[in-house]
Structure 1
């Protein structure tokens, strides 16, 4: 009962504070002297004791209202009578309770005592679930709150699907929510009142849904025609003195939001905020460290982070691990090579009092070799501690690049020296910054003396001014070309072709001038001399023209391939048949290069051959096969070098003859000879080697085995009861069996790298080299099994229903103390034993 009393007083106070001021005109003469309040005896928050005296929350509320309004209040029990008739009989009476009277809505009028909004706080993933529970009123939901006996309020009592659990504080509610013991936290708030600290913090942590205050209001009821009574009740509710009277009661009955006293709660909140600040700071530091690790890990350069003593490594990125091997010791890293760790530690000790160190060289042992490492370091804070961030620069590669650059410069200098033209490089100030040997020779100086001197030093005064003006134009980006006579210091004149070009750097600025001078004096004098010989040349050209017509006539009427090439492979003249020889569909090949007509391999072969002919000065004759227009052609080719004694005109004359018919006859003859030779070395029936070849091969194998001191094995196989097979099935069938056996032996000998031959009749021999007895025995058994598995019927055999073979095997380590004949004898003994002990088996001596 006391809990219900506290609940109602709390709600009354909240509503009294928040309700807006009501202004109305009241006639003091109509003010009632006494108000009768009917109470439900069945409600736990109000009723009558045994005396009977009225007691409970509603009683306390109306007594406070009586003190504020100076209107006496009398309490009477409501026993379920007709409420309309009861209140009409006593026009100064009202009904006050939590339950709405039934079937009296039209005859009674109500006045709200208080309105409460219901705030549901829940986890975001439960949003749809909570909304369904509030809307359909069927989905069961468990809520927790701080208000005692809140389940008696109209909103909760009208929602049978809501189960309300009272808690001791907000921390207990949050714990239950995250554990899943409740689905939502339910807090009640009087409309238009300022939000509490909890109501400000919870929306940052949880999702919020709010239910209208109209669904959770408490009323006082009177008959509809007694409106003045309800007006006086409303006037009493709005008086400020009532709020002041109820405030101390609210403090005493409200459950502490923190589950402790308010003072303790404030201290607890400060502690929680302090702990939260520490957690956020640590999380921020952790995120910064993770971000730093990511940036360092993604760096293209080798980086490590080490302690102030250099003995512990806190971080190594992928690039550093590609250079050096590391091992992990608990939470830190160490160099796999201990000397590397010692050198780094000594380096760190030397820079103890510095914050930045640049370009210190260390020689460290890497994954595959030693590296010259240039180390730069900077002090940083890493995971709350002072540390060194070290950047490793592999200057071994830089040295290699410098060496490569030096080699490139040497190549450039060699190329520059080989140029016959006079080449020099001039700075924007007019200094010679480089030159080649031709320029040095023409100006009677040395490279060392010329470098750094003014270009004007090597000209007379007028020429120096002209050259200076040219340089100004070139520095402005204009190239200069000219042919002119210049006077040197020794007053000698020479005709030159001069080019001056601007050289640009990476920023597009001219940093130097390239000057190329070609001395044309000798060429000019030669030209003048040639002018005097013009008539003689015209006569020579006329004679040459006549010779050309004659040669063209000869080439046009030549039946075979005829052609003339210069020493570079240029076709000077060719007959029509020469096109077919070259594999080309063009009628005239004159003026084309040989390498542009022939396929690459053939062109390369002819080019090397032509160079050798020109070098030796001797003609050669050879045969060449050409495939042209789907026709195979054989040529007999003759190449003869020629050299014009009056000049440097050199080349090769080529003539060819079609020898396809004679070549085909020769090929047929060779094939016939090859067939005869094969027939003399192989058994004509089985296709394996004959006895003659075997006698040669066994001696060859034996001699090689003696040299290597290796084993040599001989198998002698004989078909079981084969004479009976011929008698029963005929010799023709017997020959077919021998052919099949020959094929089986050939296949198996290819598999095992052995030699097989027909020894005579139905006997075969197999030579196995470089195999021990066990291995050789497996090969012999494989051959015997393969013949039996062929399944050739033999009804007259005493060994099996099929054709089988008995095999004798002998193996010897070849030496000078024995010979191949003894090996054959031992194998023969083993064969005899195999046939005498049941056939279709392998026996070893």
Structure 2
């Protein structure tokens, strides 16, 4: 019995130890599973768990669901419609060799994902813990169309060529420049990129057939394994720079030769000063004259050059004149600027003289002393001719728009103003009136003042009609035919235009009285054609003149001293008698 009791006690202890071991084992397993779950949920990157044998997603964090389009339905996690569980296992197997794999969400959304994975146990099953991040290398490739379009927008000629000689890309500027002659292009040549980046110039012709100098910069494109994959070439047209450099170099050579010659031979300098009819002077940094010719002394009103050499202008000229010269001298001597300007000088007789002045800094090659070289040219005759020509052009312009006999604008000026006023009124949708006045003076010439001819009487009538117009915007001009006068009246319509027509009739009647006629219609008679309306886009400016002429013809048919009105938009007419207008 004692033995049995002891055995029973030992069995209970073993059972208790086994139970305790199972509890500890469950606690460790549960803790690891909870830690795994929390490490997935709190991770900043996309992580999901996959059963190693079935490919079923058993858990995923929010980042994975957003980035990989994994959906959670209840306790289940579903892959995108285009990826099955077996395809997921195939992708993960391939990722062990190449981590970058395509993840097909839709036809237009196929991002490249970088996968890393390791094994773990989750709920008693073998699972794979998969980390997923978007491939940065592929993102750069996805921006390739945008990069190529940016290259197409550049004005430089750009090409990309593989190391095998295959042309990979040319931008639009390159294609335009080498149109129909690609075999002559820079990219068609053999390119040596073994020495790295470099550049070389090449003479060729542009699409217009003009000679040009292209400078091409070659830059190798290095892959991730430090091997050269291709070369990019950028060509610039440096013709202007080349010609500028050549011109500058030639000019500098000439200047150096001149400076050496002047330094070696004082006789040559004196010969130049004596031979030049234009004023020339040389003075140092203290504005003390070292050389000048007689023309320079004459321009300053000084009798001899000896009175200038060894002196500054402050010593030989009045202070107000010397100060004016000092302002430009300071820019040349202190700021080393070359000045080219027109200067006006009044001589002793009070007559103005214009000079084309060049002031340039110089440095003596041996002493390195600085100074100023002044060369001036008398252009007074040129200035006076230019002024006379400008004045003559103004007078000619005035004559072309003015009738010298009647002292009013001519027909051409009227039509030019009509076009401008028509467009203005068209924009403002404002009324416009044109009047044609025809004055008949044949009877007056026969019956009364035989000493005055019809042209002379037209001058009197023109002056009288000019006084009728009160507004500055109104225009009176010579008509197309003898005895006709044209009136342009902006912002005027019926009945105001008819009131003006009546005033014209009254003025002509007063002229008859002044010339001593007993009958109003015996000496002068006037017929007025009036056209008024608001300009429209479907009408030309000449349409209102045609309407006024039609109204004038109707007035002539009605008798003497008649007015007819015609609008632009209808055939309605109104007439008036000798003293009446409608």
Would the TM-score normalized by the shorter structure come out above 0.5?
Answer: no
Q: TM (normalized to structure 1)?
A: 0.28
* Structure exhibiting the larger radius of gyration computed from Cα positions: 1
Q: TM (normalized to structure 2)?
A: 0.39
